[in-house]
Chains A and B, each alone.
Chain A
Amino acid sequence: MRTGDFIKVRIENDSGYIILGNTLSTHDAREIRKAFDELEQKDIKDIIIDMSNVTQMDSSGIGVLVIYLKKLKEKNGTMKLMFPREEIKRILKLVNLYTYFEIIE
């Protein structure tokens, strides 16, 4: 599955994977929402966000993840951020989100 030009979605062992491009920002927010909605329609409650390509992030991008993490938790689902780069980890720590999300390193 593929949504947008940069964001890919796949399902593996009942988990949904959203593979982000190199940005997680205002401009990507709509595509990311689409990816989450696509997985929600397939009743996928455990989602892994592949952050390995992300080098730039802003508050709108982070905000989308916060909103969907809350939604997933309400349904007893999970969201994990996979392989964030050092600069991204630094931002997440700065905004006190590093412990808010489960991180796969």
Chain B
Amino acid sequence: MILLSIKIKAFYKYIRVIKRVTELVSLGKGVREDEVYLIKLAVAEAVANVIEHSYKGEKPEKIEYLISNHGDEWEFTIKDYGEKQIIEKIKSRNLDDYKEGGLGVHIIQNIMDKTEYCHFDKGTILTMKKKIGADNNENR
């Protein structure tokens, strides 16, 4: 079931909008606050990565964000129309060779159960899946 679908422009200031709507939707569905905190962090990192890597900085280009759930399986999908990254190269950074950047993917992968990147003709879709226990979720 689609719970939310919005479009933003690729500006960092709109990340707070993404965090806020994620909070409203998930709290509204009875997700625990500490889970919501981490989910917001992961989606914010994902959008920041799109702005930085796909669009090479802030631009008035489109980012689409979708939240859906199938029972207790939640999906957070981010679609961009920017430069396609080599999917195999999108991976979390080892702290020993950390210079700057790259921790975002590490954070996303640690918070979400599964992350999938796929290309379409005009860009990239990132799907992040997380199972949220029935006791956390009112399943409304």
Contact = CB atoms under 8 A, between A and B. Distances in A.
Interface of A: 26, 57-60, 62-63, 66-67, 70, 87, 90-91, 94-97, 100
Contact of B48 (A58, A67, A94, A95): A58
Interface residues on B, range: 20 to 34
B103 A62 contact: yes
A70 B38 CA distance: 27
- B contacts with A: majority SS: helix
Interface in B86-104: 95, 98-104
B5 interface: no
Contact of A94 (B98, B102, B111): B111
B12 interface: yes
Contacts of B98: 63, 66-67, 70
- A contacts with B: majority SS: helix
A58 B45 CA distance: 7
27 contacts: A26-B12, A26-B48, A57-B41, A58-B45, A58-B48, A59-B103, A59-B104, A59-B107, A60-B48, A60-B103, A63-B98, A63-B101, A66-B103, A67-B98, A67-B100, A70-B98, A87-B34, A90-B34, A90-B38, A91-B38, A91-B107, A94-B38, A94-B107, A94-B111, A95-B107, A96-B95, A100-B95
